[in-house]
Amino acid sequence: MLQNHQPQPLQIISPHVVGDPFFPTVGQRRDRWVLERTLGSGGFGTVTLWKNEETEEEIAIKKCRLEGNMSQKNCKRWQIEVDIMKRLKHENVVAGLDVPPGLESLQDNLPLLAMEYCSGGDLRKVLNSPKNCCGVSEYEVRCLAYDISAAVEYLHSNRIIHRDLKPENIVLQPTGERTMYKLIDLGYAKELDQSSVCQSFVGTLQYLAPELYIGQKYTQTVDYWSFGTVIFEALTGTRPFLPNSPPLQWHNEVMKKSQDDICAYFGNDGTVKFTKKLLTPNHLTKTMQKYFEDWLRQMLRWDPKTRGGGMSNEKRQNCFLLLDRILSIKISNILYVEANQLISVPVSSQQTMQELQRLIEQQTNIPVNDQDILLASGLTPDYNKPASQCWSEPREEELLVFLFKKSETNLSARKDKQLPLAVQYIVREPKVMLAYSEQKKAWAQSVYFCQEQNRDFHRLIGSQQAVMLSLLRANSEFVRLKNQMSAEVGQMLARKDQFKESLELDMSKYEDQKSEGIRSEQMFSKWEKTADEIEQYDNLKGYANKLDQDASVLQTRIIELQKSPFARGKNYTHLADCEDKAKILYGELRQAGKGNHRNNVLLEHTQMVDAVTKCMVHRDKAVSEMMYHISKICQCRAQLNQLLPDIETCCQDINAACKQLVSHQKSRQHDIWNFLKIAVSILVV
């Protein structure tokens, strides 16, 4: 049976107010340590932040309150928590430390708990941020899942069940590479006896496994349910099962779900709907969304015996193995620029580029031989190397591969993202009054829509940068070859003129002596044919001149593109401004709905609709201009790729002509020496 208790949530204290009479006030000193602020306060006690004036070291001190209901048994359990915290050593579990000299004086009958201080706040603060109202980024949720799964598996290997895994008990520690997520609040709550379980978890029932609701015996799988719930909320911005329902209704409804259902919500007709899919919109790629749905179906099973997927042959829980596999999969994110379509394709180390291209063809209908693939650097992949070259290590700033069609250089036809249904409704009816939860949903999706337009435009900027880098890189080789062609055709003509002058002299001398001297009509006929042949070199000169003129026109166009505001990183902030406005409005709505006031929140949607409609107007203008600019770059690339083989062929023809001139010269010299030999032999006779 569910137990009903009054909530006693953790209170966040202002840096200038300390709510615990057992602690000195902010700014007071203990030896070299200064009290910076109170981090949190609740029924269990107070956590404060202290800073060493000499070393700049920061440390969190947790002090248990000695209240009337603090029995001797629970005092002993507090001591156990302190001992456990000092014993645990894992990078994703907040470390327990020795109380530094100078702060022991804060201690009374119960020991203090000194802990490493994590300066990034807790996950609740992250999830409450308006920018995360529809979930955090894929990169951040990957980091969160990786870190907390490692922490939970470590605790379970030490026969410790957390039992109170929730966003408030996950803290962030910025590091040089990325933000680390760590578990806190271990020991005390899980050491309580079964009769006080629900009371110790008041205010966080939404994260508790069902068996803890009703006071049944439990195992480590209670942490799987809580962990899955936290990840679902991080992915979507909301908890998975009827997040606004009271506990009794929640339990009675959610227990009806099938094993693989990972979400429950109220439909338009007021009935509870179950689904095996994640809520949308969210910030996951389609491939990663499917993987997380598979994992959540293991974590959110109602039956604790099957939750987590059981033990594997490797003596690890299948849920941890599955998550490891998911997070280790290399996924290439490819933006098909013209269609504004993001394709996410898993790639293996053995997969060839040809195999990747066939997968791209399946999703885009672009034939393999018409695919123009560019890396973010502007380089074209090496088609003799594995497809993994189109993958990059996940990071906060996404790195995409860009896909164009070789046969299409006019990119004006681009598919825009549609408004989410809830946003469509308030755009049609901006003055309609909605219940707070429905309004919050519509406004959250409005924020997401504005984020999506801004993100898509930045992806478009990335595609412009990639294709421009590709053009400039190809242009360097193009200019080199063009200059080589111009120089070599000049050298060829100079040699040709010298050869022609020499040939004409030889032919003239031959004509002068043939009436009384030696005759060789065959030799002279060959020389005449050679004279005709070298005259054809002027045609090669004309062709080279035409290519040079075409190349000069192309160079002018490329220079104009480089001078474009887009190429110079035009500072287009209108979409970001719309996103910021939507986030501010959403934050104000959440602020108005805090506490017991949400039932009285009745706001028009006019301002949010204005932000959304302005976002669409600015998007259409910005995208149209950018697509036109990209089209011009693509047209230059196409023209360059068309001219480049012609210039290469022309250079080859010039080289062949020069070799032919040398051959003609040798042949004529051979003829002359033979002619001279004959003449000498006649004179001797």
Q: Which residues are catalytic?
A: 164
Q: Are 642 and 477 in contact (CB under 8 A)?
A: no
What are 153-160's contacts with CB under 8 Å, separation 24+?
Answer: 153/316, 153/317, 153/320, 154/88, 154/90, 154/92, 154/93, 155/88, 155/93, 155/183, 155/186, 155/223, 156/220, 156/223, 156/317, 158/88, 160/84, 160/88, 160/186, 160/187, 160/190
Task: Indicate if the alpha-carbon torsion angle 422, 344, 402, 407 is positive or negative.
Answer: negative
The Cα 184–Cα 162 span in angstroms is 9
Residue in the structure block whose two tokens are 């001219």: 643
Q: In what order do the strands lie in the sheet with 45-52?
A: 29-30, 33-42, 45-52, 58-64, 113-116, 96-97
List all residues 6 or more positions away from 374 whose beta carbon is below 8 Å from its beta carbon.
380, 401, 402, 403, 404, 463, 466, 467, 470
CA atoms within 13 A on the CB side of 459: 23
The Cα 674–Cα 410 span in angstroms is: 65
Asked whether the beta carbons of 40 and 19 are under 8 A apart, the reply is: no
Strands 330-336 and 96-97: unpaired
How far apart CA 465 and CA 459 sit, in angstroms, is 10
The residue type found at 406 is: K
Beta carbons within 10 angstroms of residue 568's beta carbon:
9
* CA 497 – CA 103 distance, rounded (Å): 97
What residue has token string 């192309």? Answer: 554
Contact 143, 179 (CB under 8 A): yes
Residue 474, judged by CB atoms within 10 A of its CB (0-12, 13-18, 19+), counts as middle
In 3D, which of 74, 141, 135, 140 has the Cα closest to residue 109?
Answer: 74
Identify which of 68, 130, 17 has the alpha carbon closest to the alpha carbon of residue 445. 130
CB neighbours (10 Å) of residue 612? 27
Are the CB atoms for 219 and 156 separated by under 8 Å? no
First to last CA, the chain: 136
Beta strand 401-405 with 330-336 is parallel
Q: Is 381 exposed, middle or buried (0-12, 13-18, 19+ CB in 10 A)?
A: middle
Q: Tell me the two tokens of residue 241.
A: 């099962």
Backbone torsion region of residue 171, taken as left when φ is above 0, otherwise alpha when ψ lies between -120 and 50, otherwise beta: beta
CA distance linking residue 665 with residue 543, whole number of Å: 25
Q: How far is it, in rounded angstroms, from Cα 553 to Cα 565?
A: 21
- For residues 118 and 136, is the Cβ–Cβ distance under 8 A? no
